[in-house]
Each structure stands twice: as structure tokens, then as C-alpha cells.
Amino acid sequence: MNKIEVDLNAIAYNLSIFKRIVYPETKIIGVVKENAYGHGLVDVARVVWTSGADILAVEKIGEAIDLRVAKIKAPILILGYVDPDDYHKIVDFDFILSINDFEDAYRLSREARKRNLWARVDLGIDTGMNCWGVVPFEFLQVYQRILDLEHIKVIGIHSYFADPLDIKFSKEQLNILQNALFTLQQAKLPIPMVHMASTDAILSNPESQLDAVRIGLGLFGYSGAKTAKDLCPALEFKTQIAYLRRVAKGESVGYGHAFMAKQPKKIAILPVGYADGYPRSLSNKSKVIIGGKRASVAGNICMGTTMVDVTGIDCSVGDEVVLIGASGDGKVYAGDLAELAGTDTAEILSRLPARIFREYHFK
């Protein structure tokens, strides 16, 4: 059986690390988007909230609704796009909507006015990503127009670093944001909570902390910053040996003859593949852990099957196989797989399907 084990204690511990790093007055936004980076939305969000986060952030409105249904009463910020047809849900469930232009705010104000309620928004400013937010030279005007709307409260202003570990470019982005805020001060306009730093920026660029920080990947034990060595990975991905086969010298394994046996081999067949979140790009590259020993993937990873070279390893059908995690002296973390796959750790984790059984540990 394929399963994912999540150590909720590790998540609470990682959050405590960041609480010691950020300034005491800085709010913490716990980012649990995309099923909490594959760790499981509701269980993780509850721990993040009760462990001291001030706000929870998700990507999609469906995730936000799931948290409300689970009776999680935290302030919830929706970072991603929401179809205007769903704006009534923003008002009804009291979510905070991340917006990128005046039109978003105007449509939301109309929905709020229908219910005689107030809606909350967090306005983005584009400081160099060319992806989200109001462009700087229009920011003052757009902000003023939104403040003039009825039934809308601007509770935040935010931006994103393109590459937090590129300190020079990040400082340029931060200057753009600070200049925009200065124009608001000159116009005597109120400035709400401002946030820009995510995990890597918190660790590598403390001056970017501002009023709040967004902690996502760091909650789960990962970061690109070298100072993240004290974080604890919270997830283990496991399967088991389904079959064992003997392969003769000169024979191939799997689709495309991608693995050729240069000598007799013992091959373990695992019931896990790229449809289960174990990327095909790891074919002939990654290693798994069986009985505390590392074994190499042999051939192309299939949709639901992976073959592993277990020659010289004492193993049997039904034995546990660690895809992500640790066993004995062997360790394979999501960051290791990301490097081999040519992607980032967040993609490896967030692509783990929600249908895979998750087992939670919490004391």
C-alpha cells in the first residue's frame, strides 16, 4: 500500500523556529495552499493555526471553504484567482481576497453591498514578477479608488520576490514596494498590513519581514536558504515491494529498454508511479530505501509502477520501501528528488495526490 506519513510535531516545531527568527511584532501567515504542499490541508492547517500562526493562506476558494467546514475559525487569505461568480462566498464565509486590480475590488464590493456586509481584500503590487499585482505607477490611483468603495476594507498590501536568494534583485523589488508605500504616506492614506517575505526571504533577507511574513515550504522543513538547516522535514512517502524478479545479463527492464542489465540483477517491482506523485523524470536517477539501504530506480518510471535494482539487498515481497524520508542510515528528502528531477521541492510535495492515504502523528 502507498501511504504518506506526516509528523505534525515537526510542523509545529518548524513554525516555532520561524517565530524565534521573525520580529516579535511581525504577524505570521501560515501558507497551507495546495493541500498544505501535499501534507493534507485540514490536519496541517489546524496545527499551524493552534501553534501560533495569525492568518492561514490558501490558493483556491475550495480550500478555504474546506477549512471553514472543518470549523477552523482563523482569518483565511485566498492567494489565487477566484472566479467573480464565487465572490458571494468570499463575503458569506468572511475570507480575505487577494486582488490585483480595481475591477476585482469593485465586483466584490457589489456582492458585499447586496448582503449589507463588508468584504476584506489584500491588494497586490507588482515589484518585478510581471505576474500579479498593480503596476507601481498606477498603485496610488488604484489604491485610492478602492478605499473609496463602499463595503470594502483593505487589510493588506503584498508583493512577491522573484528570487529571494538573489539579494541584489530582491533589494530592488523591496525599494519599489517601499517607494509605493511612501506615495501613500505623502497622500495621507492609511497603510494596512504589508507583507512580501516568504520562507527563503525570511531566512536570507531579514529587512524584508515588514508587518507580516508568509511561511509555506518552511513549515514542512524545506528552504533554499542555507540557514534552514535546523528545519525538520515533516513528510515520508512509502510503498512496498509487490514483486521480485530475476533479470538475466543483457535483458532490459521496463518501457523503452531504458535499463539494460550488464550482469544478472534482482529487480523489485513497486506499486507506485508518476500518477502517484513519483515523477517520471526520476527514471534511472533516484534512489529509494529498503531495509536501511539505498537502491537505484531501474528504467523508466511507469504510471503506476517503478522498478528498483535490489541486487545484493536482502528483501522480500511486502517489505517497506521509503521514497521520501529516512530509514536506518538512508535518507532521501523531497529536495533531493527535486534536484534530480530538475524542479523545485514545492512541486515534488504538492503533486502528491490527495487520494493517497495519509497517517498523522502528533503528541
Can 255 be counted among the known catalytic residues?
Answer: yes
Q: H or E stretch including 140?
A: helix 136-147
Indicate which CATH number applies to the domain containing 270: 2.40.37.10
Can 27 be counted among the known catalytic residues?
Answer: no
CA distance 327 to 320: 10
198 plus 274 within the same structural domain = no
105 plus 210 within the same structural domain = yes
102 plus 11 within the same structural domain = yes
Q: 168 in helix, strand or coil? A: helix
214 plus 284 within the same structural domain = no
pLDDT tens for each residue of the chain, 363 residues long:
899 999 999 999 999 999 999 999 999 999 999 999 999 999 999 999 999 999 999 999 999 999 999 999 999 999 999 999 999 999 999 999 999 999 999 999 999 999 999 999 999 999 999 999 999 999 999 999 999 999 999 999 999 999 998 999 999 999 999 999 999 999 999 999 999 999 999 988 889 999 999 999 999 999 976 556 689 999 999 999 999 999 999 999 999 999 999 999 999 999 999 999 999 999 999 999 999 999 999 999 999 999 999 999 999 999 999 999 998 888 999 999 999 999 999 999 999 999 999 999 987
- The one catalytic residue in 33, 89, 238, 265 is 33
- The one catalytic residue in 23, 81, 243, 255 is 255
Contact 161, 196 (CB under 8 A): yes
**Where in the sequence is the domain holding 11, given as residue range(s)?**
7-220
215 plus 248 within the same structural domain = no
Length of the chain: 363
